[in-house]
Amino acid sequence: KTRILIDTDIGDDVDDALAIALALKSTELEVAGITTVYRNAEMRAQLALQLLHVMGATDIPVATGIGQPIRNKVDSTVIPHQCRNIKTTYPPNCSLHAVELIIATLREDPDTVLVPIGPFTNIAIAAKLAPELFARSRIVAMGGAFGAVYPEYNIMCDPEAANIVLSSGARVEFVGLDVTAQCVLSENEVDRIYHCSGAAERYLCSLMDIWLHTSIAGKVTLHDPLAIAYLVDPGLLNMRSVPVAVEMDGEMTRGLTAVLRTPFRQRQAELEDNARIAVDVNVPKAKEILLSRVFNM
């Protein structure tokens, strides 16, 4: 089994909840913990607890993390849309802060794979506090857009954190927009999901419904579930080793993940591959993994 810790900004896009559900339904994985990040991390932890409650997995520790990115300033009182769904207060099942839980989990088992599916703030602070653990750890992140000239959300929300993680010595693998944006549920698939019975399925439907009615995207893209699906079936993605740098000062491009391959030999010699990025995805297989495991379809 692959032991994983999911660091999430569950509560806005529905894909975080789908990713956690997929991890819980995958016997190849063992979820050691869930940590929340970005803006209202407390409410996000409540939502994560609710999801675990519905899925009968309350033994998995949920730890609240950092709301404020390292340099960007954000309003952390905003209630994420999907948290409107929370009617009960769930007692915390973990006394640790997210950063402490990340470090404790790696200490317990250094092979635990960290899976950030939100901005990288918690992971970056943990890397600063326990560099010796990160030097040998593996991180599979949903983040980055490598063939694009625009930044991806998780990196853009905290570019400094992404930069720290990249220089931590960890083996970082990015499942970025290049592949995730291709994994969009069709109207027919959404319709079939809406017809599912079963408490967990109905619950996920209610979250999906909020997302479809509040987002300008108006569609369900399997960004975060793809990082989990890759851990279940590594053959799903083609990965390539590249030198990645995060743009931190660009006026228009802050948070851009640049692949620094230049035609100038002198510069190229200075740049070493520091990450693996996903360049190709088997879309039907990725969807099949999610739909069959989470929705029994």
Instruction: Determine the Cα–Cα distance for residues 213 and 17; give it in Å rounded to an integer.
Output: 16
Pick from 153, 203, 211, 230: which binds ligand BDR (CB under 6 A)?
Answer: 153
Nearer to ligand BDR, 133 or 278 (CB): 278
Residue 223 is a catalytic residue: yes
Which residues, 223 to 262, sit near ligand BDR by CB under 6 A?
223-224
Which residues, 78 to 117, sit near ligand BDR by CB under 6 A?
117
Distances (CA, A) of 207 to 17, 141, 228: 8, 23, 19
Residues that bind Ca ion (CB under 5 A): 9, 16, 117-118, 224
Strands 237-242 and 275-281: antiparallel
Should residue 158 be labelled a site residue for ligand BDR when binding is judged by CB under 6 A? no
Instruction: Determine the Cα–Cα distance for residues 125 and 194; give it in Å rounded to an integer.
Output: 39
Strands 62-63 and 138-142: unpaired
Should residue 39 be labelled a site residue for ligand BDR when binding is judged by CB under 6 A? no
Which residues, 7 to 36, sit near ligand BDR by CB under 6 A?
13, 15-16
Nearer to Ca ion, 14 or 133 (CB): 14
Pick from 7, 152, 178, 201: which binds ligand BDR (CB under 6 A)?
Answer: 152
Provide, rounded to whole angstroms, the least separation between the CB of residue 131 and ligand BDR.
Answer: 26
Nearer to Ca ion, 98 or 104 (CB): 98
Provide, rounded to whole angstroms, the least separation between the CB of residue 213 and ligand BDR.
Answer: 16
Choosing among Ca ion, ligand BDR, none, which partner's interface includes residue 153 (Cβ < 5 to 8 Å by kind)?
ligand BDR
Residue nearest to ligand BDR (CB): 13
* Piece of 49-57, 102-110, 149-157, 255-263 that binds ligand BDR (CB under 6 A): 149-157
Pick from 40, 154, 257, 282: which binds ligand BDR (CB under 6 A)?
Answer: 154
Provide, rounded to whole angstroms, the least separation between the CB of residue 162 and ligand BDR.
Answer: 12
Should residue 134 be labelled a site residue for ligand BDR when binding is judged by CB under 6 A? no
Which chain residues interact with ligand BDR by CB under 6 A?
13, 15-16, 117-118, 142, 152-154, 223-224
